[in-house]
């Protein structure tokens, strides 16, 4: 690495108490996305229109799940399933720790990209544990579907985020944002950005990649979850989706950089745009099964992302970096 | 030996590669989302691959047949909605269900023709859906071809002259269904059942067909 003054600047992190703020912020963002999704959901069905019922829908559902009875299955592994369910929201919040909220993250780790990746992979274990813990055939099928999905999306995903790190010559997210002051990374690495969007949906088992929890296996890994167990698991999944979308902003969309508005506002606007894209993706496409997608991911996406990384490496070399 | 929860151990059987693996007895239905009403497919599975299948209709012949007096297009749209639901396309499925409900509420076929044509065009044009269905074996043909048949049936039923009941599309009987499922994975099996969309209302009582 060349001389990087930012590398020594460890004071970029927000004060420690902002850790407490993180779940609140993510919760609010999740609520907004849920409300928008509910409003879109109501449209083709001809249900109650407008934002009023849609805004209330997540609250109503939360209250219903809080008072609802938890479900026990015969010979289920409650400890394993419980740990899995709780791991999902915890992993999402921990992944968000390195996310710059505007300019500064809660924890400005020098290996931020790797930290995010590690937290996101916790979801694999979480979904599998929940599926196994229910001792139900459909739950088990759902759990294993997510493991297969991980095998398909993870390698292209890692090449995509590493390309962003390569462009900035750093794994620190604040440095990656600084490197985009002149030019957003999405411009010089569009393939990596597109692959990142796909894998953001896949890691939150969202949109066309929701077969681990699909309706066709009666809810898959989450089939036996009820009451507060379901609230924690499904809430964790939404948090993960929001964090995955928000991470696209520092990696590819220039972080909080923008005219007029303060950095945090730009981060919010850009995150909202990515989330809108993901919500649209789900309505636009039918589910993608891994017995078809894995081939595409390994034969098409991996070579594409490697070629993208190569191009970015040449750009960096030509600039006189490394 | 005390077994966990008093459940029997899974028995062993040869799988498609000749390995001896656990076999699990899993009934599919009668209650599953987007599943033909009353249908039960009792399967023997290894992993999520179906080794044996037996299809039957619960309480066949009892109760009042619902679809017999409804508009044929409503029946076809109901089947299409269930297929799209199984294919994980909630948005398109919701549109099909809405058209079905309009017909059941007494709207004329002319009234829904435009939106039905738009829906069919959208489903036919979806390259992702084709990619997911092409080459999924369902007997002599594949699921994509079965879907084409269903879409044509919707089209014919919607454009049949108003007032005339229109011809009802022929559907595969139960005995063909169980045979199609053997050797397929659970996701494929669900797509096959939804694409075949067997008639479960008129089935004779205690009809059971076993394959495997």
What is the tens place of the pLDDT at every residue in A230-266? 999 999 999 999 999 999 999 999 888 888 888 889 9
A151 Cα to chain B: minimum distance (Å): 18
Asked whether residue A100 is domain-assigned, the answer is yes
Count of CB contacts below 8 A, A vs B? 75
Between chains, do B4 and A285 touch, taking CB under 8 Å as contact? no
- Disruptive mutation site among B24, B47, B88, B92 for chain A (greatest number of A CBs within 10 Å): B88
Quick check: A117 and A158 in contact, CB under 8 A?
yes
pTM reported for the whole predicted model? 0.89
Residue A44 lies in a domain: no
**Distance in Å, alpha carbon of A256 to nearest chain B alpha carbon:** 34
Which 3 state secondary structure label does DSSP give A136? coil
pLDDT (0 to 100) of residue A55: 83
User: How far apart are alpha carbons A121 and A139 in whole angstroms?
Assistant: 19
| The predicted structure's pLDDT at residue B117 | 93
Nearest CB to B88 within list A211, A291, A292: A211
CA distance A216 to chain B (A): 5
The minimum CA-CA distance between B199 and chain A, rounded to whole Å, is: 20
**B91 min Cα distance to partner chain A (Å):** 5
What pLDDT does residue A7 have?
Answer: 45
Of A44, A286, A292, the CB nearest to B87: A286
Contact across the interface for A45 and B94, Cβ inside 8 Å: yes
- Beta carbons of B128 and A45 less than 8 Å apart: no
Looking at residue B199, its pLDDT comes to 83
φ and ψ of B84, to 5 deg: -65, -35
Model confidence at B58, in pLDDT bands (50, 70, 90)? confident
Does the beta-carbon distance from B98 to A45 stay under 8 Å?
A: yes
- Closest chain A residue to B86 measured between Cα atoms? A216
Q: CB–CB of A283 and B91 under 8 A?
A: yes
Interface contact A286-B97, CB threshold 8 A: no
A247 touches A116 (CB < 8 A): yes
Closest alpha carbon to A247 in A274, A229, A266: A274
**Cα–Cα distance between B156 and A45 in angstroms, integer?**
24
Interchain pair A215, B187: CB under 8 A = no
Instruction: Give, to the nearest 10 degrees, the angle between helix A190-203 and helix A137-168.
Output: 150
Give the pLDDT confidence score for residue B34 in this predicted structure.
Answer: 93
In A, which residues are within 8 Å of B85 by CB distance?
A: 215-216
CB crowding B42-56: b at 16 or more within 10 Å, else e: bbbbbbbbbbbbbbb
Q: Is the pLDDT of residue A223 over 50?
A: yes
Return the residue matching tokens 């694409």. Answer: B195
Q: Look at A142 and B20; give whichever has higher pLDDT.
A: A142
Answer for the pair B89, B147: CB distance below 8 angstroms, yes or no: no
Domain span at residue A95? 70-321
Q: Do A144 and B129 touch (CB under 8 A)?
A: no
- Closest CB from A208, A215, A288 relative to B34: A215
Find out whether B26 and B43 touch, Cβ atoms under 8 Å: yes
Q: Are A23 and A189 in contact (CB under 8 A)?
A: no
Please state whether the peptide bond connecting residue A307 to the residue before it is cis, i.e. omega within 30 degrees of 0: no
Residue of B90, B97, B119 for testing the chain A interface, max A β-carbons within 10 Å: B90
Look at residue A281 and tell me whether its pLDDT is greater than 80.
yes
* Chain A residues with at least one Cβ partner in B under 8 Å: 41, 44-46, 74-75, 135, 137, 141, 144, 208, 210-211, 214-218, 282-289, 291-292
* A7–chain B nearest CA distance, Å: 44
Checking if the pLDDT of A299 tops 90, the result is: yes
Residue B98 distance to chain A (closest CA, Å): 6
CB under 8 Å, gap of 24 or more: what pairs does A92-95 form? Answer: A92/A26, A92/A119, A92/A236, A92/A239, A92/A240, A92/A242, A92/A243, A93/A22, A93/A23, A93/A26, A93/A239, A94/A119, A95/A119, A95/A120, A95/A240, A95/A243, A95/A247
* Strand, coil or helix: B195: helix
- Write down the ipTM of this complex: 0.86
Does the distance separating the beta carbons of A292 and B132 come in below 8 Å?
Answer: yes
pLDDT tens-digit map of A72-119: 888 888 899 999 999 999 999 999 999 998 888 888 889 999 999 999
Residue A175's pLDDT is: 92
Indicate if the pLDDT at residue B169 is higher than 80: no
With CA atoms as reference, report the closest residue to B157 among B113, B102, B105.
Answer: B113
Would you say residue B168 has pLDDT above 80? Answer: no
**Average pLDDT of every residue of chain B:** 84
List, in sequence order, every residue forming a beta bridge with B52; answer none if it has no partner: B44
In a domain, A21, yes or no: no
Work out whether strand B208-211 and strand B141-142 pair parallel, antiparallel, or are unpaired.
Answer: unpaired
Determine the pLDDT at residue A6.
Answer: 47
Instruction: Give the percent of chain B with pLDDT over 90.
Output: 42
The domain tally of chain A equals 1
- Rounded to the nearest angstrom, the gap between the alpha carbon of residue A87 and the centroid of all alpha carbons in its chain is 14
Instruction: Note whether A254 and A177 are within 8 A (CB).
Output: yes
Residue A2 has pLDDT above 50, yes or no: no
Contact (CB<8Å) A216/B86: yes
Find, in chain A, the residue whose alpha carbon is nearest to that of B130: A286
For A161-177, what is the mean pLDDT?
A: 93
**Closest of B78, B60, B69, B31 to residue B201, by C-alpha:** B60
* Cross-chain residue pair B132–A214, CB shorter than 8 Å: no
Torsion sign, CA atoms A209, A268, A258, A115:
negative
Burial class (CB in 10 A: 0-12, 13-18, 19+), B196: buried
DSSP reduced 3-state for A165: helix
For residue A25, the model assigns a pLDDT of: 87
Q: What is the mean pLDDT of residues B126-141?
A: 90
Q: Spell out which residues of chain B touch residue A217, defining contact as CB-CB under 8 Å.
A: 186-187, 190
Beta bridge partners of B138: B141
Mean pLDDT of chain A: 88
Which residue in A135, A216, A279 has the most chain B C-beta atoms within 10 A of its own C-beta, making it the best mutation to test that interface? Answer: A216
pLDDT of residue B1: 54
Contact A40, A279 (CB under 8 A): yes
- Residue B2: the pLDDT is 62
> At A198, is the pLDDT very low, low, confident or very high (cuts 50, 70, 90)?
very high
- Which has more confidence, B1 or B21? B21
Q: Where are the beta strands (DSSP E) in chain A?
A: none
Supply the pLDDT for residue B206.
Answer: 46
Nearest-angstrom CA–CA distance, B150 and B192: 12
Q: What is the mean pLDDT of residues A161-179?
A: 93
Residue A37 lies in a domain: no
Domain boundaries, chain B: 11-63+172-209, 67-162
- Residues of chain A positioned with their CB less than 8 A from the CB of B98: 44-46
Beta-bridge partner residues of A217: none
Chain B neighbors of A292, CB-CB under 8 A: 131-132
pLDDT of A31-71, one tens digit each? 888 888 888 877 776 666 667 788 888 888 899 999 988 88
Chain B residues touching A135 at Cβ < 8 A: 5
């Amino acid at each position: 690495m060349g001389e990087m003054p930012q590398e020594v600047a460890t004071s970029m992190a927000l004060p420690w108490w902002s850790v407490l703020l993180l779940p609140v912020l993510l919760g609010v963002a999740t609520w907004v996305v849920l409300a928008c999704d509910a409003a879109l959901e109501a449209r083709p069905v001809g249900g109650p229109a407008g934002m009023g019922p849609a805004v209330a829908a997540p609250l109503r559902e939360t209250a219903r799940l809080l008072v609802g009875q938890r479900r026990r299955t015969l010979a289920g592994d409650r400890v394993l399933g419980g740990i899995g369910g709780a791991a999902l929201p915890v992993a999402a919040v921990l992944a968000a720790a390195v996310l710059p909220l505007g300019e500064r993250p809660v924890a400005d780790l020098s290996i931020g990209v790797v930290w995010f990746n590690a937290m996101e992979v916790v979801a694999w274990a979480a979904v599998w544990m929940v599926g196994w813990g229910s001792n139900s055939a459909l739950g088990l099928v759902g759990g294993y579907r997510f493991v297969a999905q991980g095998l398909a999306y993870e390698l292209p995903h890692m090449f995509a985020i590493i390309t962003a790190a390569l462009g900035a010559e750093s794994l620190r997210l604040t440095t990656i944002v600084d490197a985009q002051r002149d030019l957003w990374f999405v411009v010089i690495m569009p393939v990596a950005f597109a692959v990142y969007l796909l894998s953001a949906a896949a890691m939150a088992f969202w949109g066309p990649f929701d077969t681990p929890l699909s309706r066709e296996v009666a809810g898959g890994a989450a089939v036996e979850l009820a009451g507060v167990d379901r609230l924690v698991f499904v809430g964790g999944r939404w948090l993960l989706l929001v964090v995955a979308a928000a991470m696209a902003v520092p990696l590819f969309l220039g972080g909080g950089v923008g005219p007029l508005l303060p950095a945090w506002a730009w981060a919010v606007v850009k995150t909202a745009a990515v989330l809108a894209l993901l919500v649209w993706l789900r309505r636009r496409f039918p589910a993608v099964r891994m017995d078809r997608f894995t081939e595409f991911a390994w034969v098409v996406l991996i070579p594409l992302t490697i070629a993208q990384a190569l191009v970015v490496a040449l750009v960096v070399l030509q600039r006189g970096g490394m | 030996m005390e077994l966990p929860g008093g459940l029997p151990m899974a028995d062993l059987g040869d799988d498609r590669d000749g390995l001896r693996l656990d076999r699990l007895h899993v009934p599919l239905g009668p209650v599953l989302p987007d599943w033909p009403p009353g249908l039960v497919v009792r399967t023997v599975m290894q992993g999520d691959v179906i080794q044996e299948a037996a299809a039957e209709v619960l309480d066949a012949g009892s109760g009042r047949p619902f679809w017999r007096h409804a508009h044929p297009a409503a029946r076809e749209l109901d089947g299409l909605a269930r297929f799209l639901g199984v294919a994980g396309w909630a948005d398109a499925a919701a549109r099909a269900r809405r058209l079905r409900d309009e017909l059941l509420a007494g709207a004329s076929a002319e009234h829904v023709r435009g939106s039905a044509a738009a829906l069919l065009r959208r489903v036919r044009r979806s390259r992702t859906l084709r990619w997911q269905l092409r080459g999924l074996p369902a007997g002599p043909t594949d699921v994509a071809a079965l879907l084409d048949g269903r879409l044509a049936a919707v089209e014919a039923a919607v454009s049949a002259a108003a007032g005339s009941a229109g011809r009802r599309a022929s559907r595969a009987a139960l005995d063909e269904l169980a045979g199609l499922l053997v050797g397929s994975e659970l996701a494929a099996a669900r797509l096959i059942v939804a694409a075949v969309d067997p008639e479960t209302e008129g089935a004779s009582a205690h009809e059971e067909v076993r394959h495997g």
